[in-house]
Amino acid sequence: MTNLATNAESLASVEVRDEAVAAARAAAAASGVEIRELTEIADLAAVVGLFESIWRSAPGARPVSTELLRAMSSAGNYVAGAFENDELLGACFGFFGNPGKASLHSHIAGVAKAGVGRGIGQALKLHQRGWALLQDVSVITWTFDPLVRRNAYFNLGKLGARPIGYLPDFYGPMEDSINGSGDTDRLMVGWDLKSPEVRAAAFGEPVLIDAEALGAEKALSVGSDGGPVIGSADAPTVLVGVPSDIERLRRTDPGRGTAWRTALREVLGGLMADNAEVTGFDRAGWYVISKEQS
C-alpha cells in the first residue's frame, strides 16, 4: 500500500508539473512573448537596464547588478526574461530559500512600459511556477507593497497567492520613483504551487471576492478627502480598504500618503499580528480578513 500511495503521489506531481508548464507556455503565447532563462552577460545587463528604467532609483541604488545576476544564475537560481523578437519587455529574478522548506523567493519582477497591459507579468510568474515545480520546489514567496491596489489584486486574485506576514519597513529607505522616501512596509505572500486555487488561476480562473456582499465591518476605508478612516474591527470578518492610486497620492499629497502607510500598518498589520487571516482581495480595493481560527 505504501508503494502504491507513493507512486500515485509521484504521478500526481508529474501531472501538476506538466500542467504548469503548459499553462506557462499558453500565457507567454497569449502575451506575444518568448520567455527564457538568462545566463549570458549581455542578457543579464539588459535585465539590469530594464529594472533601472522601471524603478528609476537614485544614483548608486539600482535594484540589482549584472554581477549579482551572473552569480545567482550560475548557482542555479532563477533569472528569466520575456522577449518580443529581440526586445526585452519583462524580467523576473528569484533565489532559493530555506532548503528544508523547498521554497524559492522571487525578489524582483518588472515589465517595460511598452509591454504593460499584455499579460506579460502573469506570463513571467507562470513561467517561474513551472520552472520551480521542475526543481521540486512547491512554494514561492515574495513581497509587495500592500497599499498598491493593482498589485494586491494581481497577487491574491489573478495568481492565488496568500499573505503570510506583514513586514514594517522591510527594505528600509529605497529612494526610487515607485517607493519614494517613505517606509517600505510589505506583505509577504506564499504561493502554494500545487493548490487547487493556484492551478485554477493559472488557467484563467482568478480568485474572485465580492467584499460588499459579505456585509462585513470596514476596519479601514477611504474617506471623502481620500484619506484613511479607521473603523471597527470587532466582527469575525472585516474589510480593510486601500486607496485607488497610492503612487499618485504619494506624489501629489505626501502627507496623506504617509497617513495611509501608518493606518494600514496599524489595522492590517495589527490584525495579522493577532493571527487573523487575509482570505482574499476584492478588485474594488478591499482586503477580506477572517478573525476566526481554522
Provide the pLDDT for residue 253.
94
Closest CA to 120 of 109, 108, 106, 129: 109
pLDDT digits (tens, 9 = 90+) for 49-100: 999 999 887 666 678 999 999 999 999 999 999 999 999 999 999 999 888 7
Provide the pLDDT confidence category of residue 43 given band limits of 50, 70 and 90: very high
Quick count: other Cβ atoms within 10 Å of Cβ 239? 25
- AA identity, residue 187: L
Whether residue 256 contacts residue 227, with contact meaning beta carbons closer than 8 Å, is answered with yes
Residue with the bigger pLDDT between 293 and 232: it is: 232
Q: How far apart are the first and last CA of the chain?
A: 31
pLDDT at 63: 85
Q: To 10 degrees, the CA torsion angle through 271, 275, 277, 278? A: 40
Least confident of 5-14, 33-42, 153-162, 190-199: 5-14
105 phi and psi angles, rounded to 5 deg: -105, 120
pLDDT bucket at 213, cuts 50 / 70 / 90: confident
Q: How many angstroms separate the CA atoms of 220 and 203, rounded?
A: 33
Inter-residue contact 74 to 98 (CB < 8 Å) = no
pLDDT value at residue 220: 98
Q: Are 82 and 90 in contact (CB under 8 A)?
A: yes
Per the listing, cell 500515485 goes with: 8
SS3 sequence, the chain? Answer: CHHHHHHHHHHHHHHHHHHHHHHHHHHHHHHCCEEEECCCHHHHHHHHHHHHHHHCCCCCCCCCCHHHHHHHHHCCCEEEEEEECCEEEEEEEEEECCHHHCEEEEEEEEECHHHCCCCHHHHHHHHHHHHHHHCCCCEEEEEECCCCHHHHHHHHHHCCCEEEEEECCCCCCCCECCCECCCCCEEEEEEECCCHHHHHHHCCCCCCCCHHHHCCEEEEEECCCCCEEECCCCCCEEEEECCCCHHHHHHHCHHHHHHHHHHHHHHHHHHHHCCCEEEEEECCCEEEEECCCC
pLDDT of residue 190: 97
Rounded Cα gap, residues 233 and 185, in angstroms: 21
Angle at 40 between CA 35 and CA 45, to 5 degrees: 85
Task: Say if CB 159 and CB 122 are below 8 A apart.
Answer: yes
- Give the per-residue pLDDT at 152: 98
- Residue 177 — pLDDT band, cuts 50, 70, 90? low
* Dihedral of alpha carbons 126, 104, 164, 167, sign: negative
Q: How many CA atoms lie within 13 A of 253 on its CB side?
A: 12
Looking at the predicted structure, is the pLDDT value of residue 294 above 90?
no
Q: Please report the pLDDT score of residue 136 as a whole number.
A: 93
Q: What is the pLDDT of residues 259-292, one digit of tens each?
A: 999 999 999 999 999 999 999 999 999 999 998 7
Worst-scoring range by mean pLDDT, 93-102, 110-119, 222-231? 93-102
Give the pLDDT score at 181: 67
Predicted structure pTM score? 0.92
Phi/psi at 266 (nearest 5 deg)?
-65, -45
Considering the chain, what is the average pLDDT of its residues?
92
Q: Which grid coordinates are listed for 242?
A: 486601500
Any idea which of 4-18, 69-83, 125-139 has the lowest mean pLDDT? 4-18
Average pLDDT over residues 116-133: 97
Q: What is the pLDDT of residue 105?
A: 97
